[in-house]
């Protein structure tokens, strides 16, 4: 059975809201209450969870701690995932520094850049290596997921290098769609796309420039 990506992404949201409720001392949560906390329809929650098993007690609800453990198991959050980042500029450095303080499911084990001046710097405890060393270091450090924090013009090349070095997952902060072989999974984390969606919503239609309709440019292309 193929499980929709969006259902998997919502599991993370359920787990976080369950953790907040658990911290407040809530032991049992109805799907209506969980739905309310998540801003999601209760039927959607039941449907999403049904992909992974049968949870909860009829007429009672979900045991918060139990469901948290189940979701952590499904998403494999108790493993410490090993990440390598390509790009040690502003974004890459920020991610490396941020990760130091996150007691979470991941840790950076390698960082790469192609600019000679950045090589050898230590950021968030990780030394920046040249991209030529990627193959060796990814294997030696056991990096499983590559993070792309480079400008769009060489994001695809960075992805190709990561795939050749053996990573099987890529988190892409660059605003392009990566082309990767079928055995490699990619996820897009470029927040400027979300910002631009906000710009659109905040712009009154009347304030957009009127397009100049030209006879040569109003026909659909082949």
| Residue 132 structure tokens | 């030529």
Instruction: Give residues 34-73 in contact with its own copies (rule: CB under 8 A).
Output: 37-40, 46, 50, 53-63, 66, 70, 73
Out of 13, 26, 133, 141, point to the residue binding its own copies (CB under 8 A): 13
Rule CB under 8 A: is residue 90 a binding residue for its own copies? yes
Antiparallel, parallel or unpaired: β 145-148 and 169-172: parallel
State yes or no: residue 199 binds its own copies (CB under 8 A).
Answer: yes
Q: Least CB distance from residue 141 to its own copies, whole Å?
A: 16
Torsion angle of C-alpha atoms 156, 161, 163, 164, degrees rounded to 10 = 140
Tell me the site size for its own copies, rule CB under 8 A. Answer: 95
Q: Residue 61 carries which DSSP code? A: B
| CB 27 to its own copies: min, Å | 14
In 3D, which of 2, 66, 62 has the Cα closest to residue 38? 62
Binding to its own copies, residues 118-177 (CB under 8 A) = 144-145, 152-153, 168-171, 173, 175-177
**Residue 38 tokens, joined:** 């998540």
């Amino acid at each position: 059975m193929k499980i929709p990506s969006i259902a998997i992404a919502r599991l993370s949201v359920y787990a976080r809201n369950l953790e907040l409720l658990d911290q407040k001392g809530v032991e049992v949560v109805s799907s209506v209450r969980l739905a309310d906390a998540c801003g999601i329809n209760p039927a959607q929650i039941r449907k999403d969870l049904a992909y992974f098993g049968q949870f909860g007690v009829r007429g009672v609800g979900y045991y918060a701690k139990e469901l948290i453990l189940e979701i952590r198991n499904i998403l494999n959050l108790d493993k410490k995932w090993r990440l390598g980042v390509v790009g040690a500029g502003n974004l890459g450095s920020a991610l490396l520094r941020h990760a130091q303080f996150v007691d979470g499911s991941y840790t950076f084990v390698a960082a790469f850049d192609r600019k000679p001046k950045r090589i050898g710097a230590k950021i968030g405890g990780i030394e920046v290596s040249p991209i030529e060393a990627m193959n060796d270091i990814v294997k030696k450090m056991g990096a499983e997921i590559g993070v792309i924090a480079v400008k769009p013009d060489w994001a695809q090349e960075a992805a190709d290098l990561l795939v050749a070095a053996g990573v099987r997952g890529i988190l892409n902060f660059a605003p392009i769609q990566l082309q990767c072989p079928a055995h490699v999974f990619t996820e897009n984390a470029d927040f400027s796309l979300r910002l631009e969606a906000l710009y659109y919503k905040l712009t009154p239609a009347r304030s957009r420039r009127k397009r100049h309709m030209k006879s040569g440019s109003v026909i659909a292309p082949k």
